[in-house]
Structure formats: C-alpha cells, structure tokens
C-alpha cells in the first residue's frame, strides 16, 4: 500500500488539522477525535469524583471535626480490637525474622489509616448532617420560643385591659352581677420551672408588701409595687435609649 504522508499538527488545533486530512479519511478522523474527547471527558470526571472522595481524608475541617476524630481514635474498645487484630499477625511475623518488624509496622500503619478514613467517613456522611439538622432545629426552636413569649405577653396585656374595663370600682356590691368573670389564668402560660419561680417570687413579694414588721404592725405597703413599677420603667427607658443610640450610629 502507498505510504501516507506524515501530517504535522496545525497551529489552529483539530479544526486546522482536519483541513489537511484527505477526504477519504475525514470520517475516520472525526470518529477518532470524538472518541478521544469522550475518553478524556470520562477520565476527567472519574478523576474529579476520585479527588472529591479523597478530599475528605486530607485533614480536619473544624475543631468539632478534630475532636470527633480524636475521640474515635482514642476509643478504648476500638484500640482493644486493633490490638487483637495485630496479635493475629504475630505467628506470621515470627517466621519472617528481620522482615517481620517491617510487616508489623506496615500493618499497624494500614490499620491506623483505615480507622482514620472510617472516622472521616462517619463524620461527613452521618455526624455532620446530624449536627447541621440539630443546629437548624435549635434555631427554629429558639425563634418559636421568642414568638410564644411575645404572643403571651401581648395576650396578657389585652386580657388585663378588658378586665380593667369591666371592673366596677365605685360600688362593687351594687353591680355584683356585672363583676369580672375570670377564665384566663396567667400562670398557665408559664413553663413548669417558671411557675415554681414565679410562685416563690409572688409569695415573698406579698410578704414584703403586707408585713412591714409582723411583730409590731400589719399593713399593706403599696410602696413596694411603686418601686417595682419604677424599676421596670427605668429598664424600659434604658433599653429605648440604647436602641436609639444604635440607630443613630448606623
């Protein structure tokens, strides 16, 4: 068969090279070019997948990640199992004389590498998604608690306003049938631990208001209520001033 002339790579790449290909071989060249592109794309994708899979084993990404890996590697049951696995190699190591230590060292290194890779896999595939889910749930729970506290405070204000409007202060006995009927118990909106603290606080505050000196006199000291209201108002004013300063600094 006649010898085909050697074709040099054209500066324009495959398109320029294709212009120098004989017409009878252009279809073959196009097939080879497409096959080469397909193979290169497959190699690139497989390399990318392999690199992505191995990237998780290259190091610790956070303090929590490092703490988890440390706990796994220092797990007493896991270290016992590793020691038992290495002991199974002792009969083989004793027969290899000088090479036995090298085999044992290589086995220990490989076992440690397997434990590291397993710990990293557990972190990325199970622990980290669970931590993210717990963090999201905690954030949502805090937001719902804040909304609940704001809603119950607003509801209490509305109930208090309605009761104040319905109360008869002039002569309660004259319009006894029109007096306030209580259906809402404010303490029911508190958490169990909050109820205990609130009742203890209310009991002590009533003692302070009704018993200035129990051995001498029993009076109702409304000054305690006035002081408490004044403290609350001062706190609210301080918060408003702080919010105003922050707004002016923006």
Read off the pLDDT of residues 82-114 as tens digits, 9 standing for 90 and up: 888 888 777 776 666 666 677 777 888 888 888
pTM for the whole thing? 0.45
Lowest-pLDDT range of 24-38, 82-96, 126-140 = 24-38
5: confidence class by pLDDT, cuts 50, 70, 90: very low
Using a pLDDT cut of 90, give the percent of the chain over it.
6
* C-alpha to C-alpha distance for 7 and 157, rounded to whole angstroms: 91
51-60, 155-164, 220-229: which is most confident: 155-164
104 within 8 A of 89, measured Cβ to Cβ? yes
CA 119 to the chain's CA centroid: 20
Lowest-pLDDT range of 3-17, 198-212, 216-230 = 3-17
pLDDT, residue 141, reads: 93
Question: Long-range contacts: 125-132, Cβ < 8 Å, 24+?
Answer: 127/68, 128/65, 131/64
22-31, 85-94, 145-154: which is most confident: 145-154
* C-alpha to C-alpha distance for 226 and 205, rounded to whole angstroms: 13
């Amino acid at each position: 068969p006649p010898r085909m002339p050697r074709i040099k790579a054209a500066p324009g790449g495959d398109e320029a090279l294709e212009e120098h290909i004989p017409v009878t071989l252009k279809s073959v060249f196009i097939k080879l070019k497409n096959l080469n592109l397909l193979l290169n794309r497959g190699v690139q994708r497989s390399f990318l997948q392999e690199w992505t899979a191995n990237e998780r084993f290259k190091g610790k990404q956070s303090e929590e990640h490092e703490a988890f890996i440390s706990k796994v590697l220092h797990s007493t049951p896991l270290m016992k199992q590793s020691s038992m696995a290495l002991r199974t190699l002792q009969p083989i190591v004793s027969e290899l004389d000088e090479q036995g230590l090298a085999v044992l060292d290589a086995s220990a290194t490989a076992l440690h590498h397997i434990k590291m890779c397993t710990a990293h896999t557990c972190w990325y595939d199970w622990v980290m998604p669970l931590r993210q889910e717990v963090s999201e749930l905690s954030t949502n729970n805090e937001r719902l608690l804040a909304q609940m506290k704001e809603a119950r405070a607003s509801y209490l204000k509305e109930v208090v306003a309605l009761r104040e409007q319905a109360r008869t202060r002039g002569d309660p006995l004259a319009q006894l049938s029109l007096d306030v009927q209580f259906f809402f118990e404010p303490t029911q909106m508190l958490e169990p631990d909050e109820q205990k603290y609130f009742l203890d606080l209310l009991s002590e505050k009533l003692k302070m208001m009704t018993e200035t000196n129990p051995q001498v006199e029993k009076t109702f000291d409304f000054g305690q209520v006035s002081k408490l209201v004044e403290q609350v108002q001062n706190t609210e004013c301080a918060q408003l001033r702080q919010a105003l300063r922050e707004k002016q600094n923006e």
